[in-house]
Structure 1
Amino acid sequence: MLRLPAFALFWSAATLRAFGGSVAGVAFQVLIVSVIEATPLQISVLSALGVVPYLFLGLIIGALMDRWRRQRTLVLTSIGRAVVLAVIPVLLLTGTLGFWSLAAVVLTLGVLTLFADSAAQPLLPRIVPRDALVMANARLGQSQTVAETAGPALGGTLLNLVGAPLLFAFDAVINAVAALLQWRIAVAEPRPAPRAPGRHVGHEIVEGMRYTYGHRTLRPLALSVHTWFLGNSIVATVFAVFVLRELDLPAWAFGLALACGAVGGFAGAVIAPAIGSRFGAGRAILVGRALVVVPWVVLAFAPLTADSGVAVVLTVVSAAQFLYGLSMGIEDANDIAYRQSVAPDGIQGRMNSTIRTVNRVVFFFGALLSGVLMTFLGFQPTMAIGAVIFAMAAVVVLASPLRTARHDDQPDAPE
């Protein structure tokens, strides 16, 4: 894949931004907890601000990405991130960083990330042949996994060595370099036809939703991934509390278990293209959807307690995280590649934004539901419910035409 010049530039920029984001993520946590000494309510607000842009702007920006030049959008968002990140050292050095200024930074970065994500997914099919989309997404997934694994450790080290101002300045430079790489991508993006009289962006959003949920295979794919996000919001919320509080796992062991999940994700992304090629996109997605049920069933019913011992708890939790990551690595590359290959270019932005926006709405309310379930049922019953929901996501694939879908299916134009 890296022999394709356009993809090599796209991948390099995405990898740099992933590492920069993971490194800076540590510094953001330190700023929130130690520098501005945010209250629990303020921490929850800052966390929500990362999702808010998707809830209010996701569908609109998705529609715009079917009319704007996606490469130019990527370049401008990287430049914008570089500028915003460069502001943080200035605020730190002048002693003016507070809750509201940090909230403005987080919200702005969230909006820029939304633009970047909305442009990147529909741009990839323009720079990569359809038969190479799974491999391309697998390469991007591998980079993301490595960044999420090594980035926090590197960020913690750099934070101790150079301090937060230089760390954010470093991430700003990374985004500037990413913008330069994205600017060099050679891609033809035809100008869309002008809107018919009386049509506006609202009509295009509705058209994208109708296409997504009216499509023979995209509809079950979207419903399956929405269901998966509901299950994931529940288990992701309960996991850390269960492991750290109920099982009393030390922080170093918790970090090691998470690292096993990252290793599983990398392994899944490595084998995803082979599984998709051999069994088809639908069956590859089904494998990932079914496999993710296993680790949460194990954690829900395993007779684990704080008295089981660190070695036993760590072994079970690490194995569960590995399978969890493996399932996501397998399905992500095949899921995204199939969407990119089956939808025509003119509706890619709206189709992807429709699925992505609903996913985040589902995740938001699922996380709230998880808190209620933990309070009234306990940790392990809550994970069991998450496992059942994951199983439902697999059943949607199994019982639909998506099961036999292949990556070489021809794109279907919107009606």
Structure 2
Amino acid sequence: MSNAAAGAAGAVRPAEVLRAPAFALFWSATTLRAFGTAIAGVAFQVLIVTVIGATPMQISVLSALGVVPYLFLGLIIGALMDRWRRQPTLVLTSLGRALVLAAIPVLLLTGTLTFWSLAAVILALGVLSLFADSAAQPLLPHLVPRRSLVMANARLGQSATVAATAGPAIGGLLLTLVGVPLLVLAEAFMLAVSGLLQSRIRVREARAEPRPISRHLGHEIVEGVRYTYRHRTLRPLALSVHTWFLAHSIVTTLFGVFVLRELGVPEWAFGLILAAGGVGGFLGALVAPRIGARLGAGRAILLGRTVTVVPWLAVAVLPLTAATSLAILLPLLAAVQFLYALSQGIEDANEMGYRQAVAPDSLQGRMNSTIRTANRVVFFFGALLAGSLATVFGFSVTIGAAALIFAAAALVILFSPLRTARHDDAHAMA
């Protein structure tokens, strides 16, 4: 066997990253946070709807507060993460979120939980989560070899999918058993344990390069934006994911309303449909490292983008109505969610692994925050656009438009240098 062939064969089986103590602690802390967030999501819904009796407008405001920090602070915090150490940031944000959540039972017991106090809690959690997200992505390349980044992101994706799928069910059960105050305290405890696990990680982060006194944060933000959108392969990757997020915002905004109201699917069946998505996401993350090793980063991401088009195009063109039998709707819509989540599982691990491997450490925070902030802006306006389009043109036409936008995201990669990019090339460039 030639050296090239031997290298290719070895690449098919990436090393198991959970055997690395630092990553095992990071994965445990991240998984615990994911489960805590998913479980507490049930408690927050109860608080919003039944405890404070929020109006539809107030619910919209509370929902937007979770995104607002990314819109206004995303680029700034991303630049700070290229100045600060990321490991202590993750520890402090976990403990900070635990303290903020612990304030909710106090507000409940003292009868001072109102719309405004809950809004302050949600905003504070949003800011702390932004710091945590901005620190976690650039820290990961310090915990595992760059050749193992796809595997590491796949493992994180698998646990996140399980948490998102099982967490609400566990939260609903615990809510019945212990009530809202204890459920929120349980999440606060999980975040505190997460911070403790994170603090046990021993990692040496590169010391930030000295900066001229005249060089302020704005210069560094601009440098990060320029680097991202002038890079030969990161530019098409960023443009593709922005396009994908526009379509994603449309289908995620409309799918529940379309299925429950337009098609009249019962709630229990809707739960099964969403559960199929959890299975698809887990399997996608499971096979992502092997697909990335065989096809290369660019083609693996392209595969995920292409598969995404199929389920939504099917929803748009098939004559689905409230008169359609549930025996047809249930497996069909479950397949839609399964394929959609499967495609995300495949592309997410490869996309994140490639981004983390190709960018230098001094630009990791700014590169990731540039892409993440633009994604949030696109999602915010896409969600608003979705309702307007559905009102004027109907659900099928609007979902069909989203399928075409998903196709455009795939075409950006197909006709760019990213299509032939491989993870090994990114490791060599870094």
- Work out whether the TM-score is over 0.5: yes
Which whole-Å CA distance do the structure 2 matches of 1:215 and 1:412 have between them?
A: 16
SS at match of 1:169: helix
**1:197 Cα deviation from its structure 2 partner:** 2.9
Counterpart residue number, 2:319: 303
- The question of whether the paired residues in 1 share the 8 Å contact of 2:82 and 2:363 is answered with yes
2:386 and 2:323 map into 1 onto residues whose CA distance is 26
| Partner of residue 82, structure 1 | 98
1-structure distance, mates of 2:44, 2:382: 25
Contact kept, 8 Å, 1:344 with 1:411, in 2: the verdict is no
- Correspondent of 1:275 among 291, 302, 310: 291
1:410 CA displacement: 4.0
Corresponding position: 1:23 with 2:39: yes
Listed as ranges, the matches of 1:2-401 within 5 Å are 2-401=18-417
Q: Which residue of 1 aligns with 2:13?
A: none
How many residues matched? 414
Structure 1 position 93, deviation (Å): 1.4
Give the counterpart letter for 2:131 in structure 1. F
Q: Distance in 2 between matches of 1:197 and 1:306?
A: 65
Contact 2:79 2:221 in 1 (8 A): yes
Q: Is the 8 A contact 2:297 2:351 kept in 1?
A: yes
Unaligned runs of 5+ in 1: none
User: How far apart, CA to CA, are the structure 1 residues paired with 2:424 and 2:123?
Assistant: 39
Q: Displacement of 1:312 after TM fit?
A: 1.0
Instruction: Identify which range, 305-314 or 213-222, moves more after superposition.
Output: 305-314
Check the 8 A contact 2:358/2:429 in 1, yes or no. no
Which of residues 395, 400, 405 is equivalent to 2:421?
Answer: 405
How far does the alpha carbon of each residue in 1:288-336 deviate from its partner, in whole angstroms, 9 at most, with x for none? Answer: 0000000100111111111112121111100111000000000000000
Q: More deviation in 182-191 or 75-84? A: 182-191
Q: Quote the offset at 1:356 in angstroms.
A: 0.0
Q: What is the Cα deviation at residue 265 of structure 1?
A: 0.3
Q: Quick check: 273-282 or 401-410, which moved more?
A: 401-410
| In 2: Cα distance, 1:356 partner to 1:363 partner | 10
Give per-residue Cα distances to partners, 1:56-82, cap 9 Å, x unaligned: 000000000001010000000000001
Whether the 8 Å CA contact 1:65–1:118 is kept in 2: the answer is: yes
Distance 2:190 2:278 in 1: 23
- Report deviation, 1:409: 1.7
5+ residue gaps, structure 2, are: 1-16
State the AA in 1 paired with 2:134.
Answer: S
Q: Check conservation: 1:341, 1:409, Cα contact below 8 A.
A: no
3-state SS of paired residue (2:18)? coil
**Partners of 1:410 and 1:166 in 2: CA distance:** 47
- Name the structure 1 match of 2:11: none
Provide the rounded CA distance (Å) in 1 between the counterparts of 2:211 and 2:139.
Answer: 21
Alignment-mate amino acid for residue 10 of structure 1: F
Three-state SS of the structure 2 residue aligned to 1:178 is: helix
Tell me by how many angstroms 1:413 deviates. Answer: 8.2
Q: 2:357 and 2:88 mapped to 1: Cα distance?
A: 22
Instruction: Tell me what 2:3 maps to.
Output: none
Superposed CA deviations along residues 211-263 of structure 1, whole A, max 9, x for unmatched, are 00000000000000000000101111111111011100001111110010111
1:33-54 deviations in whole A, cap 9, x for unaligned?
0110000000000000000000
Distance 2:223 2:420 in 1: 26
CA contact (8 A) 1:344 1:412 kept: no
